[in-house]
Amino acid sequence: MIPVAISVDTPEESRTLCDKAHYTFPFLSDRDAKTIKQYGLLHKGGGMEGRDIARPAEYLVDKSGTIRWANLTEDLRVRARPVQMLEAADQLR
pLDDT at 89: 87
Q: What are phi and psi of 75, to 5 degrees?
A: -110, 115
Whole-number percent of the chain with pLDDT over 90: 28
Using one digit for the tens of pLDDT, what is the confidence trace for 23-63? 988 999 999 999 999 988 998 998 889 988 888 888 888 88
- pLDDT of 15 strictly over 90: yes
**pLDDT computed for residue 22 by the predictor:** 92
Strands 27-29 and 5-7 come out as parallel
Taking a C-beta distance cutoff of 8 angstroms, is the pair 80, 58 a contact?
Answer: yes
* CB atoms inside a 10 Å sphere around CB 10: 11
Cβ of 26: how many Cβ atoms within 10 Å? 12
Whether the model clears a pTM of 0.85, i.e. scores above it, the answer is no
| 84 has a pLDDT exceeding 80 | yes
